[in-house]
Amino acid sequence: MAKCLLCGCSIFQPLTLEWLLSLQPVQLPVVCPACQKEFETLRGQMVCPGCGRLQKNEDLCPDCQRWSKMGELELLNNRALYRYDQAMKDYMQRYKFAGDYRFRLVFQDQFSRFVQEKSDPHRVLVLIPVDEQTKRKRGFNQVQGLLAGFNALQLLAFRQKEERVKQSTKTRKARMETRQPFVYAGKKDLNGQEILLVDDIYTTGRTLYHAKHILQEHGAGAVHSLTLAR
Amino acid sequence: MELADLYGRVLLEEEIPADLRVLLKDAAYPAMVEQGNYIKCQRCLSKIPKHEVILPNGGYYCPECILLGRVTSTAQLYHLPEPNSFPPMQHSPLSWQGSLAPWQEESSAQMKKAVDRPGEYLLWAVTGAGKTEMLFAALEKALLQGKRICLASPRVDVCNELYPRICAAFTGCLPVLLHGHSSLPYHYSQLTICTTHQLLRFKEAFDVLVIDEVDAFPFANNQILEQAAQRARKKQSTMVYLTATPSAQLLKRVKQHQLAVSYLPLRFHQHLLPLPRVFLQGSWEKKITGGILPRKVGRLLRAWSQEKLPFLVFVPQIKLLQPTLQAVAAVVGPKYQGTTVFSADPARIDKVQALRSHQLNYLVTTTILERGVTFPRLNVMVLGADQPTFSAAALVQIAGRVGRDQERPNGDVVFICSDPAKNVKMALHQINEMNYKGMKLLNG
């Protein structure tokens, strides 16, 4: 019997006729229904058109209005799968910061399907990278872990030399004042190519907008983004 | 950090400052070892199938002890053997002035002897017997001999409660308190108080290792923690298990003479344990979800409320808390106030405090309050005592909440169940057995 990754309880999964007739292998669940319910989905909810945050109307949220005021002509039109609430924060703590790589399986299926739905042939998938130091310590890229079966281009890299301070350790003000951390890692000019950025969390949007700017400096067309949590 | 902070410990690279690490090249060893299709963590000794924990960079990590900081196959662990380099004590470190009852003296003397005789011991003391005080003489002796001692418990609240008591009793040494929520820094001390999880950071360190509440979650049936406890003690050392409700495994080892046992069947106030009364009531659950209490239950609770006695009602599942509270409230009237408590309840500690200070008169709770809480004049009722949520040990512990004060050394314990299941019978048997032993003591 499978054990829930989050709470450790045993998950009972009845074998149904539907499954029997589908001739598919048994798909053991990784999370129990009670834990799954802790996460608040944003699918079919009313969200801000700019960043995908949960809200009561369809206008731009104050954060996105600020981005517009700061001279952003096109917003990222970010869409997220879940709300960045306490349950998601705890999850990220264990997956990213404690470094339990098994936790990627909690959302891998759902997030891969979500990205699959939103991507189309003329949009190139670009993942937000992890800086070298973190990657060496953590041993994985958390965004890559959440996706299975995608070919993403390595168009972004971290600026070398500079000691990078993690976004997650900063205050909102400090985050917004972060300078461009990325360099372009592609070989050719992007020539109007549309881009779909993928990251784990959209908090202030700073990182994703930096990524967008650097790609557009190298000729990218429209840039949109998807995240697991907002 | 000094070198001494590493004596008898197992630490990861990042837990040691870089300047110290240079000196410790010989003390390092790989943190994980490959064993066929498995990878073995050298800190928690668990074996994990490789394919489950492989990282994209080709390394492995241990998910079992990840909360203490992740162990990976590229990391090193550092360990220095325990030299027992404590300054010799001129005077006794014990400043406790209290005295022990004659039957407590006997157990105390046995524990004192155990310090010199390496091996494993079980101190089976009833709930509210004063186990801690009984250890003082043994601890004093070990401290004077320059031995290193650890008092460990699976429960953080037990450690937090133990620490000030030990500090007050042993002013001659500086104990150290370790657990995941503690902000006190580590220092090399002759006396360590910690949660059983922290034992994962020790290796062949202790001459005397005492584990309080061995049958409590998460230590019970946890192989990793059991191994950790065995590894944390020296090869020639004394291990003492303290509990009021030893598990079947421990009792089996007692029977096979692998474990020496010492009983303490009487409470400090010399009264026997209250014996639970069992009532069979087939349809209690249906009635309560329907909003009414079974008549017998209602009559009992009303009587308790008229006598102004605080009480606890235990239910087997969280979802039964609200219906039970409503049904009880209807019976005891609006003047008698109560609420519900469960493990994830953020206001848990406040509610328990409110019952103690008489702002509340009763609590409806899950097994979370089975141990570690003391209320004067308490009565207890367990609904569905036959359900598997309540192990025999849990039932004994619950019954042990009652009659813990001198003023009212007995009280009511009522088990409501739909059939007299094995756990109920075993609990009654254990209580009877201890009472029989206690009676023999009382009558000489």
pTM: 0.85
| Pair A15, A107 in one domain | no
pLDDT confidence of residue B429: 93
Chain-chain contact of A101 with B57 (C-beta, under 8 angstroms): no
- Chain A interface, mutation test: which of B14, B50, B57, B221, most A Cβ atoms within 10 Å? B57
Residue A175 located in a structural domain: no
Chain B residues within 8 A of A145 when measuring between CB atoms: 56
Q: Is the pLDDT of residue A122 over 90?
A: no
| Pair A8, A116 in one domain | no
- List, as ranges, residues 29-88 from A with C-beta within 8 Å of B: none
CA distance B324 to B326: 5
Q: What is the tally of structural domains in chain A?
A: 2
Comparing CB atoms, the residue among A99, A141, A145 nearest residue B61 is A99
Comparing CB atoms, the residue among B52, B59, B67 nearest residue A139 is B59
Residue A170 located in a structural domain: no
| Pair A65, A144 in one domain | yes
| Pair A126, A21 in one domain | no
Chain-chain contact of B56 with A139 (C-beta, under 8 angstroms): yes
Chain A residues within 8 A of B52 when measuring between CB atoms: 102
Q: pLDDT confidence of A13, banded at 50, 70, 90?
A: confident
Residue pair A147/A111 in contact (Cβ under 8 Å)? The answer is yes
| Pair A26, A43 in one domain | no
Residue A86 located in a structural domain: yes
pLDDT confidence of residue B181: 81
Residue A145 near chain B (CB below 8 Å): yes
Residue A6 located in a structural domain: yes
Residue pair B79/B24 in contact (Cβ under 8 Å)? The answer is no
A25: domain range?
Answer: 1-37
What is the pLDDT tens value at each position of chain B, 444 positions in all?
788 999 999 999 889 988 888 888 888 999 999 999 999 999 999 999 999 999 998 999 999 999 999 999 999 999 999 999 998 888 889 988 888 888 889 889 999 999 999 999 999 998 888 888 889 999 999 999 999 999 999 988 788 888 999 999 998 889 999 998 888 899 999 999 999 999 999 999 999 999 999 988 889 889 999 999 999 999 999 999 999 999 888 999 999 999 999 988 889 888 999 999 999 998 899 999 998 899 999 999 999 999 999 999 999 999 999 999 999 999 998 889 999 998 888 888 889 889 988 999 999 999 888 887 888 899 999 999 999 999 999 999 999 999 988 888 989 999 999 988 999 999 999 999 999 999 998 887
Average pLDDT on A136-149 reads: 91
Averaged pLDDT of chain A:
89
pLDDT confidence of residue A9: 85
Residue A130 located in a structural domain: yes
CA angle B274, B278, B283 (to 5 degrees): 145
DSSP string, B209-260: EEEETTTSTTTTT-HHHHHHHHHHEEEEEEEEEEESS--HHHHHHHHTTSSE
Chain-chain contact of B53 with A101 (C-beta, under 8 angstroms): yes
Residue B61 near chain A (CB below 8 Å): yes
Chain-chain contact of B56 with A100 (C-beta, under 8 angstroms): no
Comparing CB atoms, the residue among A98, A100, A139 nearest residue B57 is A139
Residue A169 located in a structural domain: no
**Number of helices (H), then strands (E), in chain B:** 12, 19
Residue A108 near chain B (CB below 8 Å): no
Closest-CA distance of chain B to residue A151, Å = 16
Q: pLDDT confidence of A10, banded at 50, 70, 90?
A: confident
| Pair A20, A85 in one domain | no
CA distance A146 to A127: 11
Q: Is the pLDDT of residue A163 over 80?
A: no
Closest-CA distance of chain A to residue B114, Å = 38
Residue A140 near chain B (CB below 8 Å): yes
CA distance A128 to B262: 62
Residue B66 near chain A (CB below 8 Å): yes
Its sign, for the CA torsion B15, B16, B18, B22, is negative
User: Which two tokens mark A146?
Assistant: 């959440």
Residue A11 located in a structural domain: yes
Residue B56 near chain A (CB below 8 Å): yes
pLDDT confidence of residue A120: 83
Comparing CB atoms, the residue among A100, A136, A140 nearest residue B63 is A100
Query: Would you give the distance in Å from CA A172 to the centre of its chain?
Result: 19
One-letter amino acid at B127 equals T
| Pair A133, A44 in one domain | yes
For A58, A119, A230, B126, B211, the CA distances from B242, given in Å and listed in that order, are 62, 61, 49, 10, 6
Q: Specify the CATH number for the domain of residue A223.
A: 3.40.50
| Pair A46, A138 in one domain | yes
The structural domains of chain B, ordered by start, are 3-80 (no CATH), 102-264 (3.40.50.300), 277-443 (3.40.50.300)
pLDDT confidence of residue B122: 94
